[in-house]
C-alpha cells in the first residue's frame, strides 16, 4: 500500500524537476526575445498621447463653422494630389474640430497601409499628408513601433521572433507558478542574496495572469499558431463576421450556367461613370439611417462594378462599436449587415482581447496596466539572468541536471504523457514545437557530454 504513494511522490518530484529545467531553458534562450517584445510593447502603448501632440496639426481643424459635404472634402484631396482616382476609404471627421481622412492606395505601401490626406471639413484645407496603418489608423510613429514590436522591422521573417516569445510566455508563467506553489514555504525563509529568488517568484505570480493574457492575445494574430487558431474558429463557426460586398445579382450569375467560363466568371473593371463623389454623402446618410451611429466610421467605395459600398464602425473603445453594412451602389439599400451584438462569444472575446492588448479598449487605464505588466516582465528577465549568473559561478565545477536525465528517470507512463503533450502543443504552435526540438537537441548533447566527463570527475575525487 505504501509503494504506490512513494512512486507517485517520486514521479511528482521528477516532473517538478522537468518543469524547473524547462523554465531555465526558457529564461536563458527565449527571454531575450520576450525582453525585446516587452520593451517595444511599452513604447507602443504609451505613445497615443505623444502621437496626438506630434501630429496635432493634421488631426485638428477649424473649431467653428459648417462642415462641407464629404464630396467636396474628397474633391479637395484629389485636387491636392492632382489625381481624380477615387480613394480606397474615407473616415469622416469623428467630432467638430477634427479632420477627415481621405485614404488612397499607393504603390510601395505595405499591407493595410494607405496614403491619407487630412482635410479640414470647414475650410477644405489639407492639414496633413502621411501614411496610416491598419483598421486603427495609427500614424507613422506608432506604425514604426508596432512593426518593431511585431516583426523587428524585418517583414515576415521578423514575425518568428514575436511568435517565439508569445509561444513560450504562457509556458514560463504557468511553470513559474507551479514552482512557486511547491516551494513557497522554502522561498519565504530565503534571506540575503538568495532572497532574489523569492522576489522573482513573487513578482512572477503577481504578473502571471497578465503574462498569459499577453501570450494568448499575441498568438491570435501570429503567423503559424494564429493561423491554426483561425482555422479552428472557422471550423467551429466562431469566425468574426464581416459583410460581403459582392452584389446579390453577381452572386446569382456566378452560379449560373456560364459560371467559370472565360471572362464571365471574373470581376469587371471599375466603371467610373457608376460612381460620383456625392455617393460618399449618400452612403454615409444611408448607413446612419441603418443604425451605424459610431463617431468613428470608415466608408469604402465599390472596388468594381460588381461590388457594394461598405460602411463600418471602427470604434474599438468601450463599448465596442464595429457594426457594418453593405449598400447597393444604385439604391443605397442595405443588402447585408453584421452587428457586434450577434457575434459568437469567441469572436467577441477575440475582438476585446486584441483591443486590450493594443491598449485601445479602455484608453489610458488600459495602457498604464499593459505598461505595468510589461515592466514586470522586463524585471523578471533581468532578475532571472542575475540568478543564472550567480548559480553558474557557484556551481561551475558541478554538472547541471539536464532535461534528458530527468526524462529517462520518469516512469514510462509519465514519459508517454510528456511526449504526447509536447507533440500536441508542437502541432498547434509550430514555432514552439520547433524551438522545443532545438532545446531537446542541445540538452541531449549536454547530457551526453556530462556522462563522458563523469568518470574523469569521479577519478579526481
Most distant CA atoms of the chain, gap in Å? 93
Distance CA 50, CA 64 (A): 25
Q: Is residue 53 part of a domain?
A: no
Q: Tell me: cis bond preceding 319? Omega within 30 of 0 counts.
A: yes
Q: Same domain for 369 and 430?
A: yes
Residue 233 included in any domain: no
Residues 6+ apart with CB under 8 A from 453: 399
pLDDT in tens, 145-171: 999 999 999 988 999 999 999 999 999
Domain of 336 in residue numbering reads as 241-257+275-342
Same domain assignment for residues 129 and 168? no
CB 309 within 8 A of CB 336: no
Are 104 and 125 contained in the same domain? Answer: yes
| Count of domains observed in the chain | 3
Cα(27)–Cα(176) distance, rounded to whole angstroms?
11
pLDDT band at 6 (very low <50, low <70, confident <90, very high): confident
Residues 92 and 162 in one domain: no
Same domain, yes or no: 372 and 428: yes
148 domain-assigned: no
Q: Which residues of 344-364 are buried (b: 16+ CB within 10 A; e: fewer)?
A: eebbbebbebbbbbbbbbeee
Query: What's the rounded mean pLDDT across residues 188-194?
Result: 80
Question: What pLDDT score does 436 carry?
Answer: 97
Is 127's pLDDT higher than 70? yes
Q: Judge whether 267 and 348 are in contact, CB under 8 Å.
A: no
Query: Is residue 413 domain-resident?
Result: yes
Q: What is the pLDDT of residues 205-215, one digit of tens each?
A: 999 999 999 99
In a domain, 28, yes or no: yes
Mind listing the pLDDT tens digit for each residue in 426-439? 999 999 999 999 99
In our burial notation (b when 16+ CB lie closer than 10 A, e otherwise), range 389-412 reads eeeeeeeeeeeebbbbbbbeebee
Residues 223 and 252 in one domain: no
- Judge whether 453 lies within some domain: yes
Percentage, residues of the chain above pLDDT 90 = 77
d(CA 85, CA 270) in angstroms, rounded, equals 11
Grid coordinates given for 384:
532571472
pLDDT given at position 135: 87
Amino acid at each position: 500500500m505504501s509503494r504506490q504513494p512513494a512512486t507517485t511522490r517520486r514521479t511528482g518530484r521528477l516532473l517538478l524537476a522537468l518543469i524547473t529545467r524547462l523554465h531555465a531553458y526558457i529564461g536563458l534562450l527565449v527571454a531575450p526575445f520576450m525582453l525585446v517584445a516587452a520593451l517595444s510593447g511599452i513604447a507602443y502603448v504609451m505613445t497615443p498621447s505623444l502621437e496626438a501632440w506630434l501630429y496635432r496639426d493634421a488631426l485638428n481643424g477649424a473649431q467653428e463653422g459648417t462642415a462641407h459635404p464629404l464630396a467636396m472634402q474628397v474633391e479637395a484631396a484629389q485636387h491636392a494630389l492632382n489625381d481624380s482616382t477615387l480613394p480606397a476609404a474615407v473616415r469622416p471627421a469623428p467630432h467638430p474640430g477634427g479632420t477627415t481622412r481621405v485614404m488612397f492606395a499607393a504603390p510601395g505601401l505595405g499591407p493595410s497601409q494607405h496614403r491619407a490626406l487630412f482635410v479640414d471639413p470647414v475650410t477644405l484645407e489639407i492639414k496633413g499628408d502621411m501614411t496610416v496603418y491598419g483598421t486603427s489608423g495609427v500614424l507613422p510613429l506608432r506604425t514604426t513601433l508596432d512593426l518593431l514590436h511585431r516583426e523587428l522591422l524585418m517583414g515576415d521573417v521578423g514575425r518568428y521572433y514575436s511568435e517565439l516569445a508569445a509561444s513560450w510566455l504562457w509556458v514560463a508563467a504557468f511553470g513559474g507558478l507551479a514552482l512557486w506553489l511547491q516551494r513557497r514555504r522554502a522561498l519565504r525563509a530565503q534571506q540575503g542574496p538568495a532572497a532574489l529568488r523569492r522576489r522573482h517568484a513573487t513578482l512572477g505570480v503577481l504578473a502571471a495572469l497578465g503574462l498569459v493574457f499577453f501570450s494568448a492575445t499575441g498568438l491570435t494574430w501570429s503567423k503559424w499558431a494564429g493561423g491554426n487558431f483561425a482555422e479552428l474558429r472557422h471550423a467551429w463557426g466562431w469566425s468574426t463576421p464581416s459583410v460581403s460586398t459582392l452584389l446579390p445579382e453577381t452572386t446569382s450569375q456566378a452560379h449560373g450556367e456560364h459560371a467559370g467560363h472565360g471572362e464571365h466568371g471574373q470581376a469587371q473593371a471599375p466603371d467610373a461613370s457608376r460612381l460620383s463623389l456625392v455617393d460618399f454623402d449618400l452612403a454615409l446618410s444611408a448607413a446612419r439611417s441603418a443604425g451605424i451611429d459610431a463617431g468613428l466610421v470608415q466608408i469604402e467605395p465599390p472596388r468594381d462594378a460588381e461590388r457594394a459600398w461598405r460602411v463600418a464602425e471602427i470604434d474599438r473603445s468601450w463599448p465596442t462599436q464595429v457594426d457594418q453594412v453593405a449598400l447597393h451602389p444604385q439604391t443605397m439599400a442595405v443588402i447585408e449587415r453584421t452587428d457586434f451584438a450577434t457575434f459568437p462569444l469567441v469572436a467577441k472575446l477575440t475582438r476585446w482581447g486584441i483591443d486590450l492588448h493594443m491598449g485601445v479598449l479602455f484608453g489610458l487605464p488600459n495602457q498604464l496596466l499593459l505598461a505595468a505588466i510589461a515592466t514586470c516582465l522586463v524585471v523578471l528577465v533581468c532578475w532571472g539572468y542575475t540568478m543564472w549568473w550567480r548559480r553558474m559561478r557557484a556551481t561551475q565545477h558541478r554538472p547541471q541536471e539536464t532535461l534528458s536525465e530527468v526524462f529517462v528517470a520518469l516512469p514510462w507512463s509519465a514519459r508517454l504523457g510528456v511526449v504526447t503533450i509536447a507533440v500536441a502543443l508542437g502541432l498547434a504552435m509550430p514555432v514552439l514545437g520547433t524551438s522545443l526540438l532545438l532545446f531537446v537537441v542541445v540538452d541531449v548533447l549536454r547530457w551526453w557530454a556530462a556522462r563522458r566527463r563523469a568518470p574523469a570527475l569521479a577519478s579526481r575525487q
